[in-house]
Amino acid sequence: MEMCYFYFFYFRKTVQVCMIFLRLIVKLAKLLRSGTTPSHIASGFVLGMMIGLISFKSLFTPFLVLIIIIFNVNIASAIFAAVLFRAIAVLIDPFLHFLGYWLLVDITFLREVWTSLYNIPFFRYTRFNNTVVLGSLVVALCLIYPLYTGIRVLIIGYREKYEERIKKWKIIKILRGSKIFQFLGGIKDL
């Protein structure tokens, strides 16, 4: 009987994870087809990338969330990118540590800059003295322009070339008629 509960619990959790991924795919498809301009989607994606890469405990994260709220960027793409790049940040954490350590310790002429910044109370809350935070900040700053232009070009290309082709695929037609996907929320918009 105990084994039956285990299999039921495992099956239920697997279904929940699958539903989360399916909802994410549906929301991504809606995002690509939405009336939002490619620049707004790309801006939200870049800000979400920065939130995902940089540690949540630093002062950068509330500042980036405030930018997302104030400016006209796509919040759904920001959330999607934050989740995606949080997972990537966990995988590349050793590289981020190495880069931050190199910048903080190995480059001797920058030590005075780091010391003077640390003595300013505001900069202490950014946690730039943490090797992973500094490494992720540098990587995020280096990715801003290429990621923005790349996402923007991909969205424009998708909308111009592939959107109508994908609508004609048999699997999309089957999914649009499926009750499970309709339950997930508006798959008919796909």
Contact 147, 49 (CB under 8 A): yes
Measured CA to CA in angstroms, residue 111 lies from 100, 128, 147, 148 at distances of: 12, 13, 30, 32
User: pLDDT tens for residues 2-23?
Assistant: 555 555 556 666 766 666 666 6
**Degrees to nearest 5, angle at CA 81 with 35 and 127:** 135
Rounded Cα–Cα distance for residues 151 and 26 (Å): 18
- Does the pLDDT value for residue 146 go beyond 90? yes
Question: What's the pLDDT score for residue 16?
Answer: 65
Q: Please indicate, yes or no, whether the overall pTM of this predicted structure exceeds 0.85.
A: no
Contact 51, 65 (CB under 8 A): yes
Rounded Cα–Cα distance for residues 58 and 111 (Å): 21
Return the residue matching tokens 């202490």: 124
Tell me, what amino acid is at 75? Answer: I
User: pLDDT tens for residues 65-117?
Assistant: 888 889 888 888 888 888 888 888 888 888 989 998 898 888 888 888 888 88
Rounded Cα–Cα distance for residues 157 and 27 (Å): 19
Return the residue matching tokens 């980036």: 64
